[in-house]
Amino acid sequence: MDQQELEFEKTLDDSKMLLDDASRVADEDYEFTLEGILAEFGGASAQKKPVGGEPPKPAVTIPMHLPEPESADEPEGGDEAEETADGGAMGDIVPSLDTPQSFSLQEVLSRTVQEVLDEQKQEPVLEELPPRRKWFTRKKPRVETEELYESGPEPAEKTPQRPAPAKAEEPPEEPEPPIEETVADYRDAMQNGRRVSRYAALITALMWIPQILDHFHVLPELYAAEPLLSVLPYFVLLALLCVLGREVFFYGFEKLASFKLTYELMTALLCVAALIDTALVFLMPSRTATGALPLHSVAALSMTCALWGRAMLFRALYDSFRVAAIGDAPYIVTVTAGGAAKRSGSSAGFSVTAEKEDVSGRWQTVVLPVLFAGAVVFSVLSTVQVKTWTLYFWNLSAILAGANTFAFPLAYSLPLRRLTRRFTKSGSALAGFRGADTMRRSNCLILTDTDLFPPGTVTLNGLKIFGEESGKVFSYAATMAHASETGLSRLFDNLLEAEGGKLETLSDLNFYEEGGVGGTIHGETVLFGTASFCRRMGVTLPHGLTLKTGMFLAVDGTLIAVFAVKYMAAENVDWALHALHRARITPVLAVRDGNITPALLKRKFGTDARAVYPQLSTRLALSEKQGAKPCALIYREGLMPYAELAVGAKRLCRAVRIGNFLSLLASVSGTMLSFYLSFVAAYALFTPFSLLAFLLLWTLAALIDGVFADKY
């Protein structure tokens, strides 16, 4: 037999053996026995020698011992105990290897996997050493993973793990007292501040009038030669002014306890230094011989400005809270991702936001400590230079007066007071600088249908019905307009009420980008929208149609009615759009009426204020009714109060920032100039009048925006 025939016979034998194995596996009644498995895979109890002298192939060895019975606290899903003939569990009986035992292949594999898991539990647990901390390397947080399957009871020893770092908790919101209590507190503070500031202004005038007369040589020479006339009255008046302005002292030291140095403390220290220097002039002739005039009048004016600024701040906040205490506001102004929006909601949190610190206070707490430290050092250097220790308090008061400009207490309170007075007349209230700054950052104003065309400005100029009853037409049109929540809802509701109809049941309401809505009424497909919308939906319109602001009603693809809608421009809306345009605030048209577009605003008002017309999905999201975290409250209808708040908030932030910047610039330049003049002992140039002129010019430049903040 040749080689080819031998290979053919060998192939037949292999095929026969494979067919026998396949038929055995395919037999449904075939059961796997333990002895059979051991015999086939080379177990210890029965090993077969390979046929034909071939080397044995590697086989998987299944462990011989059975798993221990499961404890009661093991998780569910393990092997169920099989009952024997006498009612005992199979796991409680150790079977003999001589007696053939039958097991299913699934049961054998399940037990094998369980034994492997038990062996892994018995292995000692190696503790993981903490990684070394490297410089400039942030430690990665431990990533916790879930188990892919349930295992038995946890081992006694566990790998020690470091506790997870605690999450940074957000600071709790400040509790808001009742608005009535807030109004009462600010009313008392406002009345007290107004009374004290008036007395302080009177005392300051009494201090400046004799000096002005003496400067122009109106008073006799006896006034300048007698300290009882030229020094002692000023000491008494300045001391009385310090007593009246004790709240400035208390507030300044209270802020200093929280490591904040404000203009109140600078004013208090200036008055103390000027008071001590005035006493030295009266008591020590050597101090008078230097020729440096005391600066008690400048210190008095600085205290008066501080009291005046606090009184105006209390007055502005009192007016805002007094408006908020009227009741629940119909509208609140909140800021969303699309800009500032007028919505319905609660006024909770308004007073807490209004009482927060403004940007001028934050800037001053950063710069004023540096200037105060410089004033202390410069006064020592100037005193050492002139070698007259009695001039130390004069040098200190001179440098503090140059550093503490009059505009500090007025940079925020003056524009806020003027704007609050305007907002109060228009029936609105602003939540202080924080509310204004939040609105200013968005620089966008969300406008809805009723904002641009309030009720009464949208009228029906005519209609035409094609082959349908008027009752059905009015009911369908009013139902679609009411469901779409556009500015046309009230118009068609009034039309339906006049005809004695009722709203129908609408289902499957859909909004379309082309400017219309669709739905199902009594099984009929109803479309309601503009002419371009109907053409896109395949509705045939009359030829020669020139209606620009019409609404079309179609049922099952057939036009049944045309409504000629007229939009009239309201005077307050016209003013509001032009005010927004001048303030460079972008209107965002969150409208649902397909006729209201920037082109319509351009035709009706002469300007679209550079309005943004977003996509339909964005317009629907921005036209939501509810809101939270109010920045302002509105108690009147119309776009005018809404636009006044937006423009006024932007002007307030601008006035505060410019006034604060110029105040700090004046403070720095005044500190350096005062130090130079005191260092070179130029007392003839450094007089109370020259210092007053310097401070007033800088104050006027810093407050010019605040004075005209409400003029728009």
Cβ 454 vs Cβ 596: under 8 Å = no
Q: What is the pLDDT of residues 338-372, one digit of tens each?
A: 899 999 988 888 999 999 988 888 888 899 999 99
Residue 22 pLDDT > 60 = no
Q: What angle do CA 427, 431, 433 make, to 5 degrees?
A: 125
DSSP letter string over 415-479?
HHHHHHHHHHHTTEEE-HHHHHHHHHHH-EEEE-HHHHS-TTSEEEEEEEE-SS-HHHHHHHHHH
Distances (CA, A) of 561 to 482, 553, 700: 17, 5, 65
Cα 284 to the chain's mean position, in Å?
A: 60
Residue 428: which of 630, 577, 636 has the closest Cα?
A: 636
* Average pLDDT for 629-649: 94
More confident of the two residues 587 and 544: 587
What pLDDT does 666 receive?
95
Residue 98: which of 144, 35, 38 has the closest Cα?
A: 35
CA-derived radius of gyration, the chain: 45
Cβ 114 vs Cβ 79: under 8 Å = yes
Integer Cα distance of 81 and 107 in angstroms: 11
Q: Judging by beta carbons within 10 Å of its beta carbon (0-12, 13-18, 19+), is residue 356 exposed, middle or buried?
A: middle
Strands 507-512 and 516-521, bridge-based pairing: antiparallel
Q: What is the pLDDT of residues 224-258, one digit of tens each?
A: 778 888 899 999 999 999 999 999 999 999 999 98
CB atoms within 10 A of CB 692: 18
Residue 654: which of 333, 350, 360, 339 has the closest Cα?
A: 360
DSSP letter string over 473-521?
HHHHHHHHHHHHT-TTHHHHHHHHHHHT--PPP-EEEEEETTTEEEEEE
Label residue 393 by pLDDT band (50, 70, 90). very high
What pLDDT does 215 receive?
81
Q: Which residue is listed with tokens 């492997």?
A: 116
Q: What is the pLDDT of residues 674-697, one digit of tens each?
A: 999 999 999 988 999 999 999 999
Cβ 272 vs Cβ 245: under 8 Å = no
- With a CB cutoff of 8 Å and minimum separation 6, the contacts of 554 are 526, 527, 528, 534, 537, 539, 560
Mean pLDDT score across all residues of the chain:
80
Amino acid identity, position 291: G
Label residue 551 by pLDDT band (50, 70, 90). very high
How many helices and strands, by DSSP H and E, does the chain display?
Answer: 25, 12
Integer Cα distance of 709 and 652 in angstroms: 6
φ, ψ dihedrals at 339, nearest 5°: 135, -170
Integer Cα distance of 16 and 105 in angstroms: 25
Range name among 43-47, 80-84, 427-431, 633-637 with the lowest pLDDT average: 80-84
Beta-strand ranges (E) seen in 522-595 are 524-529, 550-555, 558-567, 586-589
What pLDDT does 34 receive?
52
Kindly report each contact of residues 32-40 with a partner whose C-beta sits within 8 Å and lies 24 or more positions away, as own/partner.
32/102, 32/103, 32/104, 32/105, 32/108, 33/100, 33/101, 33/102, 33/103, 34/97, 34/100, 34/101, 34/102, 34/103, 35/97, 35/100, 37/62, 37/108
What pLDDT does 154 receive?
41
Q: What is the pLDDT of residues 23-76, one digit of tens each?
A: 444 444 445 555 555 455 444 434 444 444 443 333 333 343 333 444 434 444
DSSP H helical ranges for 564-687: 571-582, 598-605, 616-622, 639-679
CB atoms within 10 A of CB 144: 7
Distances (CA, A) of 329 to 420, 427, 428, 499, 590: 17, 10, 9, 35, 22
What pLDDT does 252 receive?
93
The strand order across the sheet containing 331-336 reads 428-430, 632-634, 331-336, 339-343, 444-447, 586-589
Integer Cα distance of 420 and 710 in angstroms: 9
* Average pLDDT for 536-549: 85
Residue 664: which of 691, 623, 702, 618 has the closest Cα?
A: 702
Label residue 14 by pLDDT band (50, 70, 90). low
Helix, strand or coil, per DSSP, at residue 340: strand
Strands 632-634 and 458-465, bridge-based pairing: unpaired
All structural domains of the chain: 32-46+60-65+100-108 (no CATH), 179-444+634-707 (no CATH), 449-622 (3.40.1110.10)
Q: Does the pTM exceed 0.75?
A: no
Amino acid identity, position 49: K
Identify the helix (H) or strand (E) that includes residue 136: none
Label residue 112 by pLDDT band (50, 70, 90). low
What pLDDT does 412 receive?
95
Label residue 525 by pLDDT band (50, 70, 90). very high
* Average pLDDT for 487-514: 89
Cβ 411 vs Cβ 706: under 8 Å = yes
Amino acid identity, position 534: C
What pLDDT does 219 receive?
83
Label residue 177 by pLDDT band (50, 70, 90). confident
Cβ 349 vs Cβ 382: under 8 Å = no
Torsion-angle region of residue 412: left (phi > 0), alpha (psi -120 to 50) or beta?
alpha
Cβ 631 vs Cβ 436: under 8 Å = yes
Composition of the chain by helix, strand, coil, percent to 5: 55, 10, 35
